[in-house]
């Protein structure tokens, strides 16, 4: 690092994204993306005459996209904030509400960016351990006075907390913020967005990178009370009013409106998830119950690090976390049926080699 970097950033630890290698063709199941195509309506927008107007700035308010999101979730447009991916939305949240005097908390096993943001911005962050079975200790969040950040369903475990449990945390202390990251909520779960109408200390974050098949477009948003959204827009307009370009506004709007197409995609992922779970269990794997587009697996005779390396040798990328509590688990994103059949076939070969 250079001598000009501010002292407060000297100890930052950057987030490590899922690798994007280009040395060969891979089945990419390491970053919770999807091989499924975006909505045909999204592709129509990209081919439309609207793309001829890219010489002009996009609407900084992104009203078109915010209106579509609001209608889908039965909230007011002024309750919606949009950004360049949910990570940017989370970044604005940290800038707006947390500083060196703030105290926040999040699970010890969860999305790594929460701790990265805490360290980068010099925030007092505390990890609250998951229970032995990797479920969230709701009572611990009810008792703490810290601001709360939870992924629900959680990653990389895949477990989901019912809305009633989220509400317990929210109502326990109205003087602290509760941020619920629902990146994987669409895979058969109930969102806590309706709670934002009742509680002004709740922010619900969503992404279009998972269930909307738009990781490459990077569109995120959050829903909260109008006053909280007003705060976030103030921060955004003081930093980068044009964080959303017109292409992402247009395709995001088209995607949000095509609910029928995405319901089919989501159901296909759920079906492929259950297929993969059953097949891996036949080969002796323990597979945690997942409410997401990925599974978290372990095998008594095959260490997760070795399993990950062997899959890679066969052109399949998964995600290994070298952390103490989960170092013998591997996260595998759920792809198309053809991709998951390949995973099962390669896994059987790996296990056969192990026996030999």
What CATH number does residue 74 fall under? Answer: 3.40.640.10
The residue from 257, 283, 302 where one domain ends is 257
Of 155, 176, 174, which is closest to residue 293 (Cα–Cα)? 155
In a domain, 10, yes or no: no
Q: Are residues 210 and 147 in the same domain?
A: yes
Q: How far apart are CA 91 and CA 89, in angstroms?
A: 5
Residues 175-224: pLDDT tens digits? 999 999 999 999 999 999 999 999 999 999 999 999 999 999 999 999 99
Number of H-type helices and E-type strands within the chain: 11, 13
In a domain, 217, yes or no: yes
Query: Looking only at Cα atoms, what is the longest distance across the chain?
Result: 64
End-to-end CA distance of the chain: 49
| Domain with 336 in it | 18-37+260-355
The residue from 205, 235, 257 where one domain ends is 257
- Beta strand pairing call for 103-107 and 27-28: unpaired
In a domain, 210, yes or no: yes
Q: Are residues 246 and 341 in the same domain?
A: no
Q: What is the CATH number of the domain that holds 295?
A: 3.90.1150.10
Q: Is residue 310's pLDDT more than 90?
A: yes
Q: Are residues 212 and 307 in the same domain?
A: no
Q: Are residues 175 and 309 in the same domain?
A: no
Per-residue confidence band for 11, with pLDDT thresholds at 50, 70 and 90: confident
The residue from 241, 257, 273 where one domain ends is 257
Do the Cβ atoms of 159 and 188 come closer than 8 Å? no
Instruction: Output DSSP code: residue 130.
Output: P
Residues 230-275: pLDDT tens digits? 999 999 999 899 999 999 999 999 999 999 999 999 999 999 999 9
In a domain, 314, yes or no: yes
Instruction: State the total domains in the chain.
Output: 2
- The pTM is what? 0.95
Q: Are residues 250 and 303 in the same domain?
A: no
Q: How far apart are CA 336 and CA 319, in angstroms?
A: 17
In a domain, 11, yes or no: no
Q: Are residues 134 and 270 in the same domain?
A: no
In a domain, 3, yes or no: no
In a domain, 5, yes or no: no
Q: Are residues 350 and 246 in the same domain?
A: no
Q: Are residues 96 and 208 in the same domain?
A: yes
In a domain, 44, yes or no: yes
Q: Are residues 206 and 69 in the same domain?
A: yes
Q: Is residue 53's pLDDT more than 80?
A: yes
Give SS3 for 254: helix
Q: Are residues 305 and 177 in the same domain?
A: no
Q: How far apart are CA 14 and CA 62, in angstroms?
A: 30
Supply the mean pLDDT for the chain. 95
Q: Are residues 178 and 289 in the same domain?
A: no
Mean pLDDT, residues 108-120: 93
Per-residue confidence band for 21, with pLDDT thresholds at 50, 70 and 90: confident
Q: Are residues 285 and 345 in the same domain?
A: yes
């Amino acid at each position: 690092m250079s001598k000009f970097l501010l002292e407060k950033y000297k100890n930052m630890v950057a987030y490590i994204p899922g690798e994007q290698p280009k040395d060969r063709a891979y089945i990419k199941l390491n970053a919770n993306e999807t091989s499924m195509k975006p909505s045909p309506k999204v592709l129509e927008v990209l081919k439309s005459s609207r793309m001829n107007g890219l010489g002009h700035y996009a609407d900084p308010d992104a009203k078109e996209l915010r209106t579509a999101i609001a209608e889908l979730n039965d909230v007011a447009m002024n309750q919606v904030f949009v950004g360049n991916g949910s990570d940017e939305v989370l970044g604005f949240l940290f800038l707006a509400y947390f500083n060196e005097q703030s105290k926040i908390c999040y699970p010890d096993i969860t999305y790594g960016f929460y701790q990265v943001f805490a360290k980068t911005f010099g925030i007092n962050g505390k990890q609250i351990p998951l229970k032995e079975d990797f479920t969230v200790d709701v009572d611990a969040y009810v008792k703490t006075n810290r601001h709360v950040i939870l992924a629900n369903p959680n990653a990389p475990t895949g477990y989901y907390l019912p809305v009633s449990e989220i509400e317990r945390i929210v109502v326990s202390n109205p003087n602290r913020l509760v941020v619920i990251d629902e990146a994987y909520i669409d895979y058969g779960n109930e969102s806590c967005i309706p709670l934002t109408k009742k509680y002004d200390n709740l922010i619900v974050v969503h992404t279009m990178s998972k269930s909307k098949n738009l990781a490459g477009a990077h569109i995120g948003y959050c829903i909260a009370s109008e006053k909280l959204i007003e705060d976030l827009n103030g921060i955004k307009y003081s930093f980068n009013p044009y964080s959303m370009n017109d292409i992402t506004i247009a395709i995001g709007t088209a995607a949000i409106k095509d609910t029928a197409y995405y319901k089919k995609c989501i159901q296909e992922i759920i079906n492929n998830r259950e297929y993969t779970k059953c097949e891996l269990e036949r080969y002796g794997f323990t597979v945690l119950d997942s409410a997401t587009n990925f599974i978290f697996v372990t095998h008594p005779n095959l260490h997760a690090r070795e399993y990950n390396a062997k899959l890679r040798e066969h052109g399949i990328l998964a995600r290994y976390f070298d952390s103490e509590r989960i170092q013998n688990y591997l996260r595998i994103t759920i792809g198309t049926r053809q991709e998951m059949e390949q995973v099962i076939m390669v896994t059987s070969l790996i296990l056969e080699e192990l026996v030999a």
